[in-house]
Structure 1
Amino acid sequence: MRVLFAIDPSIAHLYPMVPTAWALQSAGHEVRLASPAAFTDQIAATGLTPVPLGDAVWTARVSDDPLEPKGHVEAARYAEVLGLHPEEREYWYLFFQYLLTPTADYLRPDRPEADALIDFARTWRPDLVIWDLTQAAGAVAARVSGAAHARLVFAYDPAGWSLDRLAAGRQALVAAGLDENPLATMVRPLADRYGVEIDDELLVGQWTLDTAPPGLELPTRTRKVPLRYVPYNGAAPVPDWLREPAERPRICLTLGESYRRFIRGDWNRTPMLLEALADLDVEVVATLNDVQLDGRIPPPNVRTMDYLPLNLILPTCAAVIHHGGLGTFQAAVAARVPQLVCDTRESIMLRMEEETAEELTDETGIYRSGVEYGVRELDAREQRPAVRWVMPAKKLEATPVANYVVSRGAGVRLDHQTQSVTELREAIRTVLDDASYRRGAEAIYDVWRAMPSPNDVVPVLESLAGDARNRR
């Protein structure tokens, strides 16, 4: 069969889909990965076939007119009307403030990407479309071309969960004058243009490829196909120094790829972690770039490099310190490594602040639409309107990931906002010295290993796509 993937143009979204795409291709199916044209080279580097959509120089997040996230007042009002408790609000903010914006980016009527995806699907006639959480046009392309379609989520599913909450609270939302389904409202212009009906299936797929290990998933009404998250981190030569056994316990320090492109300074977390590691008898490999280091000199026992695939380094490590990203968490699970997850007690809610003259030079923890370090950097005074988005000092998924790791005895939580350097150091030392954390890592590895692999799921996808085709 022919399988079309609709992918957000970012490595953090591409890499989790690669093992499933390769499993389908290795089973003899034709596979294509469609994404905005500026992302073509990154897809091609995986050995898979890209379908470039739209303008080869346009990137949504660093365009001249990027869409802004939903404001915190509106986000909080929805949460209040829906009666969400504090933990539930975090899942809602993730959907409403963080996922809806990139979804809208690639549905914009002034951009050709969504129409290009649908035109390709009409011509190529896929049997199955697998789409990213932010690529809702994939569902429309499937409906127009007659293909079956599914979402692939990277652990838990805040979109499916939030849509269930919206449906349950519809009457209250209407009474409060709020949009009863903001995602449907975003998709409707594209769907109407192609005569496609908006229904639940269009918004969440005919089924969901769900990579959440048991205990991390969110309850949703969606039809789920369990899928083991097989880490793919790109390809790179094995460094000479990595071929030799470590003389001291090796720790990997990685704080993610996504935020460092948009946030300078890392909220003072990096210098505290480096100071905590400096006095330990360990070898540290830190995948930190100049934006994260922000001029700080690492101690002698820390080797820094811009990037190193986690599948190369983690199997050699006694522990990993990371930012709580789902991809890093899953890679650590697969490598059976105890985890120290950086997390804070604050909400992930995005807050918008107007700048004053005194604030213009303070960029710590500030996100600006239209700016990406190393790609498009603007002086603060050049960008109007002068809106600063204050980011929480943690990855969006950090708290659920930390809760999962800690509850299963596979590691600890590190909070640079409440813990001193000494306390951070002792937490690291404890994970290295206490064998129970290694046993906890082995236990969650066993849970992960018991999930169906991408190869196992290929026959399931073949059957489901065939059933959908027979129903047409």
Structure 2
Amino acid sequence: MKLVVTCQPAVGHFHAVAPLARAAVDAGHEVVVATGRGMGHWVTRAGFAVREVGPAWLADGPRAGAFDDPRRRLRLMSLATGSMVAGLVDLLRELRPDVVLHESLEWAAPLAADAAGVPYAALGQLPRLPRPVLAEVMAEPWNAARRRLGLPADPGLERLYPYLYLDAYLPSWQPLTANPLSWFDGPAEPDVAHLIQPPLYQVGDEVPAWLAALPDRPVVYVTMGTAFNQVGPLFATVAEALRDQDVSVVMTVGSGVDPAPLAALGPNIHAARYIPQEAVLSRCAAVVQHAGYLTTVGALRHGLPMVAIPVAVDQPYHAHRLAAAGAAVRLDHRALDPARVRAAVRAVLDEPLYRANAGRLRREMLAMPPTGHGVTLLERLAATGRPVFDGADDLAAVR
């Protein structure tokens, strides 16, 4: 199988699709990653062939202000990915893959694949929003792009995920479906969504020696991911909150923040630009983070309670679901102060119910089919070129 994998030109978005791409390579398939300019070195260092198309609008990290209005977020993403469409169409016609796999926030690929006549699948790391909600903000640019490609109109976005949707989001966190009949166990259309476990991807950087030498006391991991790590004095506020607590604080601050002044705030504060996440999570007792998808599922894989400080995009939803599940305390990044942070961290460390609830979510996640199941479904789509319905071997099974 020849597979083209696409993602938004942002490090976290590539890290979300990389585990499935790696599983496809390990199964003997040919994989090429297509993404925006400026991402090539991240892809090649992970061992994949890469083709850069379109803009570098996210490669150096977005600015939180660009996502300050909920309605603008989806529209901004849709307009930005629209600039990748032409390059992807040319690339697909050149490579002639059997299947295209795109992350669910990368919408150039389904347009380009439809135009090139290639079946395509989505990897979902978000709640499956009802199509009418997506259509409200996406229908105009979506159909404008379809007209430019000579494709028929699709006002209901039926061509967004028509073949296969690999759902790597916790089932208990999904919103209600847009079909009211299904709320009461009424008839529903065949679904192309299939569960797979959320991905776990690590860059193979060195682990600092001091991490293994931390004293025997709880470790609190603090991160704001790869894109939203320059939100005001957040790291300094957390360090101020925890420097007199009987915990070791490990901060990863990314490339845009100097770790040295943070480490100087207290003997129990340790800061670095990057440490492989798994190396920290396997040692820690709680996580303070932005409620980004990869950090959230990474922490839940270890059953860790969290303090969630969302900034933008999908983070507020993840933070809401973590708090509603009793696995986290949610804080407003615009109203942080050391006292609030200290109280929240003490709560998730001292109240066993937070860890118990995180453990419940961990068990739910580990019960989902493994990543290799996604490769099997992609192989089925490549072999038939037809929708892969849940619970059916092929289209004929639902006729």
Q: What TM-score do the two structures reach when normalised by structure 2? A: 0.82
Who is 2:149 aligned against? Answer: 194
Who is 1:319 aligned against? Answer: 286
Q: Measure how far apart 1:397 and its partner are.
A: 3.3
Who is 1:227 aligned against? Answer: 196
Q: What CA deviation, in whole Å up to 9, does each residue of 1:172-228 have, x standing for no partner?
A: xxxxxxxxx552322334433432223333234433222111221233466312121
Who is 1:280 aligned against? Answer: 245
Cα distance in 1, alignment partners of residues 377 and 348 from structure 2: 40
Who is 2:14 aligned against? Answer: 14
Choose which of 80, 96, 112 in structure 2 pairs with 1:105: 80
Choose which of 96, 110, 123 in structure 1 pairs with 2:94: 123
Cα distance in 2, alignment partners of residues 338 and 239 from structure 1: 24
SS class of match (2:38): helix
Are the structure 2 counterparts of residues 404 and 165 from structure 1 closer, same or farther at C-alpha, using a change threshold of 3 Å? closer
Who is 1:350 aligned against? Answer: none
Within-5 A mapping of 1:141-180: 141-157=112-128, 160-161=129-130, 163-165=131-133
Deviates more, 1:419-428 or 1:298-307: 419-428
Are the structure 2 counterparts of residues 71 and 429 from structure 1 closer, same or farther at C-alpha, using a change threshold of 3 Å? closer
Cα distance in 1, alignment partners of residues 58 and 208 from structure 2: 33
Who is 1:175 aligned against? Answer: none
Q: Does 1:299 align with 2:216?
A: no
Q: Measure how far apart 1:238 and its partner are.
A: 2.2
Are the structure 2 counterparts of residues 134 and 104 from structure 1 closer, same or farther at C-alpha, using a change threshold of 3 Å? farther
Deviates more, 1:9-18 or 1:411-420: 411-420
Deviates more, 1:455-464 or 1:412-421: 412-421
Q: Measure how far apart 1:293 and its partner are.
A: 6.7
CA contact (8 A) 2:115 2:151 kept: yes
Within-5 A mapping of 1:346-357: none
SS class of match (2:221): strand
Q: Does 1:341 align with 2:308?
A: yes
Cα distance in 1, alignment partners of residues 6 and 91 from structure 2: 11
Within-5 A mapping of 1:235-254: 235-244=204-213, 246-254=215-223
Within-5 A mapping of 1:261-272: 264=230, 266-272=231-237
Cα distance in 1, alignment partners of residues 316 and 265 from structure 2: 27
CA contact (8 A) 2:35 2:51 kept: yes
SS class of match (1:60): coil
Cα distance in 2, alignment partners of residues 70 and 140 from structure 1: 24
Who is 1:87 aligned against? Answer: none
Q: Measure how far apart 1:258 and its partner are.
A: 0.7
Q: What CA deviation, in whole Å up to 9, does each residue of 1:37-61 have, x standing for no partner?
A: 321111111112212225xxx5235
Cα distance in 2, alignment partners of residues 291 and 141 from structure 1: 34
Who is 1:376 aligned against? Answer: none
Amino acid across the alignment from 1:333: L
Q: Which runs of 5+ in 1 are unaligned?
A: 73-92, 168-180, 344-393
Cα distance in 2, alignment partners of residues 149 and 249 from structure 1: 45
Who is 1:49 aligned against? Answer: 49
CA contact (8 A) 1:325 1:395 kept: no
CA contact (8 A) 1:127 1:146 kept: no
Amino acid across the alignment from 1:41: H
Are the structure 2 counterparts of residues 139 and 438 from structure 1 closer, same or farther at C-alpha, using a change threshold of 3 Å? same
Are the structure 2 counterparts of residues 419 and 146 from structure 1 closer, same or farther at C-alpha, using a change threshold of 3 Å? closer
Cα distance in 2, alignment partners of residues 413 and 457 from structure 1: 32
Q: Measure how far apart 1:35 and its partner are.
A: 1.1
Cα distance in 2, alignment partners of residues 107 and 458 from structure 1: 27
Cα distance in 2, alignment partners of residues 439 and 62 from structure 1: 37
CA contact (8 A) 1:230 1:453 kept: no
Cα distance in 2, alignment partners of residues 129 and 417 from structure 1: 40
SS class of match (2:270): strand
Q: What CA deviation, in whole Å up to 9, does each residue of 1:52-83 have, x standing for no partner?
A: 225xxx523599xx9x96996xxxxxxxxxxx
Are the structure 2 counterparts of residues 282 and 257 from structure 1 closer, same or farther at C-alpha, using a change threshold of 3 Å? same
Amino acid across the alignment from 1:165: V
Q: Which runs of 5+ in 2 are unaligned?
A: 179-190, 387-393
- What is the aligned-residue identity percentage? 27
Are the structure 2 counterparts of residues 323 and 165 from structure 1 closer, same or farther at C-alpha, using a change threshold of 3 Å? closer
Q: What CA deviation, in whole Å up to 9, does each residue of 1:136-178 have, x standing for no partner?
A: 2211222233221122221323xx43x32366xxxxxxxxxxx
Deviates more, 1:410-419 or 1:289-298: 289-298
Q: Measure how far apart 1:252 and its partner are.
A: 0.5
CA contact (8 A) 2:257 2:273 kept: no
Amino acid across the alignment from 1:337: L
Q: Measure how far apart 1:437 and its partner are.
A: 2.8
CA contact (8 A) 1:184 1:198 kept: no
SS class of match (1:123): helix
Q: Measure how far apart 1:130 and its partner are.
A: 1.3
Who is 2:296 aligned against? Answer: 329
Q: Measure how far apart 1:301 and its partner are.
A: 1.1
Q: What TM-score do the two structures reach when normalised by structure 1? A: 0.70
Cα distance in 2, alignment partners of residues 254 and 214 from structure 1: 25
CA contact (8 A) 1:7 1:131 kept: yes
Q: Measure how far apart 1:413 and its partner are.
A: 2.5
Are the structure 2 counterparts of residues 451 and 430 from structure 1 closer, same or farther at C-alpha, using a change threshold of 3 Å? same
Cα distance in 2, alignment partners of residues 10 and 116 from structure 1: 18
CA contact (8 A) 2:11 2:59 kept: no
Cα distance in 1, alignment partners of residues 207 and 336 from structure 2: 36
Q: What CA deviation, in whole Å up to 9, does each residue of 1:340-374 have, x standing for no partner?
A: 2125xxxxxxxxxxxxxxxxxxxxxxxxxxxxxxx
Cα distance in 2, alignment partners of residues 304 and 319 from structure 1: 16
Q: Does 1:456 align with 2:369?
A: no
SS class of match (1:155): coil
Who is 1:384 aligned against? Answer: none
Cα distance in 2, alignment partners of residues 426 and 405 from structure 1: 17
Matched residue count: 369
